[in-house]
Amino acid sequence: MTALQIVEPAAADACCTSSGLPVLGAEEAQGKAQLFKALADPNRLRLLSIVKASDGGEACVCDLTEPLDLGQPTVSHHLKILVDAGLLRREKRGTWAYYSLVPGALERTAGVLSDL
């Protein structure tokens, strides 16, 4: 679980300019890839965009089903993925479920790219 990937020197021949710099470990890469996986679908990007642009920064599922031209179960599925990725928050009020951006989540994700 906590084993960091050890990179062995591997005797250079003529190419192979291995510098011993710290590099993204296998486990970290796994987690960060998971985050980008959540963003790697056009419909999920549009969901984020709509939620962000919505009045009050939140939208319920009924707001999201029509513009995406997707079935309601599919939208629910995408929203769950975005929530699990830490990008959206879910708040249930009465019968409706309202989704909103997690503050700073997008910025934090952007930061991951710089820290590569």
CB 42 within 8 A of CB 74: no
Q: Which does 3 bind (CB under 5 to 8 A by kind): a copy of itself, DNA, none?
A: none
Task: Find the part of the chain contacting DNA (CB under 7 A) among 2-10, 23-31, 56-64, 104-112.
Answer: 56-64
Q: Which residues contact 24 (CB under 8 A, 6 or more apart)?
A: 32, 116
Closest residue by Cα to residue 113 from 39, 63, 8, 14: 39
Residue 100 binds a copy of itself (CB under 8 A):
no
The two structure tokens encoding residue 107: 């910025």
Selected from 63, 79, 85, 88, the binder of a copy of itself by CB under 8 A is: 63
Selected from 28, 43, 50, 106, the binder of DNA by CB under 7 A is: 43
How far from the centroid of its chain's Cα atoms is residue 115's Cα? 16
Residue 48 binds a copy of itself (CB under 8 A):
yes
Q: Which does 102 bind (CB under 5 to 8 A by kind): a copy of itself, DNA, none?
A: none
Residue 8 binds a copy of itself (CB under 8 A):
yes
Q: C-alpha angle with apex 89: 88 to 91, nearest 5 degrees?
A: 145
Strands in 8-82 per DSSP E:
58-60
Residue 102 binds a copy of itself (CB under 8 A):
no
Smallest distance from DNA to CB 20, Å = 20
